[in-house]
Amino acid sequence: MASLHLHLSSHLQVSPPRSLSLRRRRLAPIRALSVPSTALTQDDLKKLAAIKAVEYVSSGMVLGLGTGSTAAFVVDEIGALLNSGKLTGIVGVPTSKRTFEQAQSLGIPLSTLDEHPRLDLAIDGADEVDPNLDLVKGRGGALLREKMVEAASDKFVVVVDETKLVTGLGGSGLAMPVEVVQFCWKYNLTRLQDLFKEEGVEAKLRLDTDGSPYVTDNSNYIVDLYFKTPIKDAGAAGKEISALEGVVDHGLFLDMASAIIIAGKDGVSVKNL
Catalytic residues: 146
What kind and span of H or E run contains 234? helix 234-242
Contact status, residue 108 vs residue 90, Cβ threshold 8 Å: yes
* 3-state secondary structure at position 272: strand
Report the 10 Å Cβ neighbour count for 138: 28
* 3-state secondary structure at position 41: coil
Instruction: Kindly report the three-state secondary structure assignment for every residue of 81-97.
Output: HHHHCCCCCCEEEECCH
| Residue whose C-alpha is closest to residue 198's, from 231, 235, 222, 156 | 231
Residues 222 and 215: their CA atoms lie apart, in Å, by 7
Residues 22 and 182: their CA atoms lie apart, in Å, by 39
